[in-house]
Structure 1
Amino acid sequence: MFANVIMLSTVLSMNGHLPPLIPWQGKSLQLIQSSGPLTTDFELSGGEVSPTYEDTMKFVDRLIAANPTQFSSVTIGESFGQREIKMIVASENGQFSANMIKSNGKPTILIQAGIHSGEIDGKDAGFMLLRDIATGKRRDLLSKANILFIPILNVDGHERRSKFNRINQRGPIEMGFRTNGNNLNLNRDYTKVDTPEVKAVLQVINSYNPDLYVDVHVTDGADYQYDITYGYTPAFASESPKIASVLEEKFQPHIDNKLSQQGHTPGPLVFVMNKREFKEGLAGWIAAPRFSNGWGDIANVPSILVENHSLKPYKQRVLGTYVLLDGAIDALSIHHQTLKAATMVEQVTPRELVVERQYAKEPIYIPFKGIKYKKFESALSGQTEVKYLGEAQTYEKLPIYWKKEIVNKVMVPDAFYIPSTYSFIVDKLKIQGIEIDLITTSEPVSNIKQPEVSDYKFDRLPFEGRFRVKAEFNYLSVDPKNLEGWYKVSTEQGRGKLATHLLHPEAPDSFFAWGDFHTIFQRTEYVENYALVPYARSMLKDNPKLALEFDKKLRENKNFESDPKARLNWLYSKTPYYDQGYLKYPILMQYKPKQREVEK
């Protein structure tokens, strides 16, 4: 008791800089046990502590020992820091292998916690839920679904524990760090797959084929009444709209009802347009494929992103997560056939694919449960700042700007062709669960386009360890005579949309944009002027059309006319000695004969 009093005093002093709270006494408080088998560290601390990696792994072992007929654990990967990434597999009849899970007639939910290990609510909520199953209190849950639970994905970041990792979050007292041991954000890695942690998750999804994927986070941003916010890509901006509609129409009402009955306030997954003026409205974010839920939308994996409200107490957030997971399992048991049917429909790859969106200029209006605030002029920042007052304020019609306006969409090729020298790209595609064929014959292929970079710009600073690049392209018709030994990626497959996002160079989360093809920007063979000048003179003499083009360029472009280097480089580019791979995207794209692809 005395230790709990000291702990509570510590928490109050640490949170003194945060906005005042609206008092909460939810029914879900009854879920906490103070003693008995498998009482969690979270519960023993009065809802203020989350255990270390070592203690977490010990609890995994105790959980399985308590019910080995229905619980097992598997190591799904190892971090760069050589820590094991564990997953608990829970099945009613002790069927733990991936093949058994897929064939036992029950739907499967994958629950992932600690991708940002400072946002660790899902770990402690999941342990309470599994404990209640293991001890018989909630054994009904395994009659509804198989459960896959990753308590900590970012295991290295988890051990970078501190009381000072998240200034705007109420607990736990010590929490992990946002990025992994290499300072990479795992929830930006679902396309480039640089991290062993995300590779492990993708392999789990490919092996177990879960019907629902739930990724648990804690949000940043403004203050509001909602304690549990969650969402998915809405149907109007989704590349898997049938799946999105089932989540919206079947799952969300069920989960919201569970949360409300237990004293929680569920809300939409939104952010704030202007953090210093809440009334300007909300940002309806649409996740790109680099994020877990954006990847799920493209890969036809029904996904829910949970973003608990960081300003609510840790105990309240964890209990709300328990209720949400309970509701998600229940909804999955009821609606899994409808969800599975929608998932099957979305296996068909469209002929066009939206690869980039921006926020709409015109909002829609929604009711929203906010918190009163006042503005003041800060002598520290030199600008107007916001102070939240801890009093409820409901907006009847608050504007929300959804990120739904289309910036760019691309024609989806029938197939991509990857040269054998880029086999590392093939390896990445295999991790993504994309089907690939090795070409073993020398038969020619037709209707092939090759993107050529016409303009480009590298980011000034690295992002997630990469110097990203944006480019514009011309699409050249090419006639490859022999692609034997190359790899073919057909887009007529379940993950054809994902393959297009990864391989089409105009997609912002493509391998190209992330920097896997930076070598095409290098020229490695050069020319001496004493050799080029006589060769070019002869070339222009033999090619009057080219000579006229050169003269016209001299007349119309004074910068070109006055720049000897530019003149000679242009002439060199017209010779057969010029590097034919320079600025050429090495992956070829095949289109149907009648499918139009503009040569820019």
Structure 2
Amino acid sequence: MKPLYFCFAFLTFVFMIDTNAQVTPFEKSKGKETTTYYQAISFYQEIAKQYPNQAKLFTYGSTDFGKPLNVLVLSKEGVFNPAEIKKQHKAILLINNGIHPGEPEGVDASMMLSRDLLKNNKLPQHTVICIIPLYNIDGSFNRTGTSRANQNGPVAYGFRGNSKNLDLNRDFIKTDSKNAYTFQQIFNTWDPDIFVDTHTSNGADYQYTMTLIPTQKDKLNPVLSSYLTQTMLPYLYKNMKEKGFELIPYVNSIKQTPESGITGFLETPRYSTGYAALHNVIAFMPETHMLKSYDKRVESTYKLLETYISVVDRDAHTITENKRKANELTASQTEFPLEWQLDNSQFNEIEFKGFEGKQKPSEVSGYNRLYYDRNDPYTKTIKEYNTFKPSVKVNKPYAYIIPKAWDRVIDLLKTNGVKLQRLTKDSRLKVDMYYIEDMKTASRPFEGHYLHNDVKVRKLKQDIDFYEGDYVVFTDQPKNRYIMETLEPQATDSFFNWNFFDSILGQKEHFSAYIFEDTAAELLKNDASLRKKLEDEKAKNPEFAKSGSAQLNFIYKNSAYYEPTFMRYPIGRLEERTNLNLK
């Protein structure tokens, strides 16, 4: 009887539609196919044409594929100006689909949901909905039915990488793609209060169709975190269970199977939800389970998006007021975490519905292999570790001074709503400068970069010449988290760690030993402190004392001949209030 029930539920979901309404490719195929890019855009164009007073399709920028990004905006009162919407204290919900086109549930669910909201006159009163129909347009054209080897449908779908073979859900801070740059223009134009980015999972097998990654609670401003954990998440879990799709946190198993416990997912700013958190936006990454049938995955996504709209509209005033408070607090915040680590001493116990993981001989190798026995379901209590604590913190400066040469950094700051001013005259300023003392660098490229990590810095107060046109970033802004986590080199996804400043890591001038020998002898003769420093180093380091070249290089590094910019991070930290000539 159970299969018949699911069949009936599927029929109800897919086929009980108005014959005059647009029908999606998903519905026409009885839940087996996902839409193409052209079909999706044509669908939304028709919706905007049919409901001009409540739906508008916007076009922004470009992608690496040469096509613009579209945003469908649904507004019950027909207000399509973001500034005006903010004045009316309405919440803005932004939904992003198809960042991984092989995970297209949100693409199909959003099409049907937007149609149904308009057709049934059920647009929310206090919320404006923005939908990006298909973000990775590039990957959606690279269409097969085999690239996601572990996934149960649809028949054909797009590819994870875009036309530059970038995973766009690793590109939000570094912004190597035009897709990410245009997305940031959209995000900062509409300034959403809640953000949802739809996905499909891999990993263990279990009974749930939908799992959920919310913004990691400890990374959020406490005002936002409190609402997320105490109000919004309980609402989502309760309502989705009532709708037949019980939620579970994203299954990030500690060991091979979920019984070992699961950990929260730390979404740093390279990810869409981590990027959103830098702007004090509560974000979610729903992940449907890849082994469930495609029709059920789309249905669960539809119902989850429907649930988001319900709770955001109900709590619109609270949500917008919380974001306003969080922005104010961020502007005045003095200390900022830059890196986080899981606290293994704290956990919650949650009910988990899985399938027993067992072993049997592999038909390929003959060795034992893992499999999940769907004939052996269980309900167990497991541990969820979801508390993170800061491992690196830094106090903000009064302002950052950025030489105008670093134009890519300047452009991204501007795109993300950071207020910048410019020096109107050359100025010699006393600032703190970082020297990169140590770091680790990946041995293989990740998304086109040899990522740095575990950065150690030495801070020196120096008199530095800055010039007319250089940029000043004051740290009294709601965008402080974006500022701090991109400009501080120790931050996990800092611009430094993503190789924006790698040119400072190369020494530009050197010396010829046979010439510098005489210069070094003269330096030692005339500088008692340098002589003492050399003798002290020889006394504590026997190997150094035996090496003439090491001693010569030591003198060079401690002389005026050594270039002060080698390994010096080029952005100055102005620690104290200073009168600057600005425009």
Per the TM superposition, whether the score is higher than 0.5 is yes
**By how many angstroms is 1:564 displaced?**
4.1
Tell me the SS of whatever aligns to 1:568. Answer: helix
Is contact 2:213-2:265 (8 Å) kept?
no
Equivalent residue number for residue 440 of structure 2 = 457
Is contact 1:356-1:408 (8 Å) kept?
yes
Distance 1:351 1:144 in 2: 34
Alignment map for 1:171-186 (pairs within 5 Å): 171-186=153-168
Change (3 A) 1:474 1:381: farther
When the two chains are superposed, the root-mean-square deviation of aligned CA atoms in Å is: 2.4
Q: Percent sequence identity over matched residues?
A: 30
Equivalent residue number for residue 597 of structure 1 = none
Tell me the SS of whatever aligns to 1:210. Answer: coil
Deviations 1:249-286 (A, max 9, x none): 222233333322322122223411122x3321112112
Distance 1:454 1:385 in 2: 46
Deviations 1:75-109 (A, max 9, x none): 22322121232111222233333334434553221
Q: Which moved more, 1:577-586 or 1:259-268?
A: 259-268
Deviations 1:382-411 (A, max 9, x none): 865321112464444212233614322222
Is contact 1:419-1:486 (8 Å) kept?
yes
TM-score (norm 1): 0.89
Distance 1:592 1:394 in 2: 61
TM-score (norm 2): 0.92
Change (3 A) 1:122 1:452: same
Equivalent residue number for residue 204 of structure 1 = 186
Q: Which runs of 5+ in 2 are unaligned?
A: 578-583
Equivalent residue number for residue 355 of structure 1 = 338
The yes-or-no answer on 1:233 pairing with 2:209 is no
**By how many angstroms is 1:457 displaced?**
2.9
AA matched with 2:440? K
Deviations 1:345-393 (A, max 9, x none): 2222332222222233335222212222212354756865321112464
AA matched with 1:98? P
Equivalent residue number for residue 65 of structure 1 = 49
Equivalent residue number for residue 304 of structure 1 = 284
Is contact 2:10-2:295 (8 Å) kept?
no
Deviations 1:1-39 (A, max 9, x none): xxxxxxxxxxxxxxxxxxxx9984685753323654201
Distance 1:466 1:118 in 2: 24
The yes-or-no answer on 1:89 pairing with 2:52 is no
The yes-or-no answer on 1:583 pairing with 2:564 is no
Tell me the SS of whatever aligns to 1:333. Answer: helix
Deviations 1:164-199 (A, max 9, x none): 011122111111111211111111112111211122
Tell me the SS of whatever aligns to 1:533. Answer: helix
Tell me which of 253, 258, 266 is aligned to 2:247: 266
**By how many angstroms is 1:242 displaced?**
1.6
Is contact 1:285-1:403 (8 Å) kept?
no
Tell me the SS of whatever aligns to 2:284. Answer: strand
AA matched with 1:281? G
Deviations 1:496-534 (A, max 9, x none): 012100000111100001101100111122222233111
Tell me the SS of whatever aligns to 2:381. Answer: strand
Is contact 2:126-2:316 (8 Å) kept?
no
Deviations 1:441-471 (A, max 9, x none): 556655x211111123321111111111233
Q: Which moved more, 1:399-408 or 1:148-157?
A: 399-408
Is contact 1:50-1:124 (8 Å) kept?
yes
Tell me the SS of whatever aligns to 2:497. Answer: helix
Tell me the SS of whatever aligns to 1:371. Answer: strand
Tell me the SS of whatever aligns to 1:420. Answer: coil
The yes-or-no answer on 1:109 pairing with 2:90 is no
Change (3 A) 1:502 1:392: farther
Equivalent residue number for residue 580 of structure 2 = none
AA matched with 1:255? L
Is contact 2:263-2:385 (8 Å) kept?
yes
Tell me which of 416, 420, 423 is aligned to 2:400: 416
Is contact 1:101-1:208 (8 Å) kept?
no
Distance 1:270 1:411 in 2: 35
Is contact 1:160-1:176 (8 Å) kept?
yes
Tell me the SS of whatever aligns to 1:361. Answer: coil
AA matched with 1:336? A
Tell me the SS of whatever aligns to 1:340. Answer: helix
Q: Which runs of 5+ in 1 are unaligned?
A: 1-20, 594-600
Distance 1:152 1:328 in 2: 19
